[in-house]
Amino acid sequence: MTQERLGELADLNPKYIGEVERTEKTISVDALARVAKALKVRLRDLVRDA
């Protein structure tokens, strides 16, 4: 999925998505919840220890 598409689905700026991916910005809990919803996964699945 592109940053642009994820941004659309999560109602976030694609530039912000890229900055988070590159660890230039820290994602907020609200934004992370939007990403989880857009990806149709549980929030805890995005943040659990690997």
pTM assigned to the model: 0.87
CB atoms within 10 A of CB 17: 22
48 pLDDT band, cuts 50/70/90, is: confident
pLDDT tens for 21-45 read: 999 999 999 999 999 999 999 999 9
**Residue 34 belongs to domain with CATH number:** 1.10.260.40
The domain of 34 spans 3-47
Domain count, the chain: 1
Sign of the CA dihedral running 24, 14, 31, 1 = negative
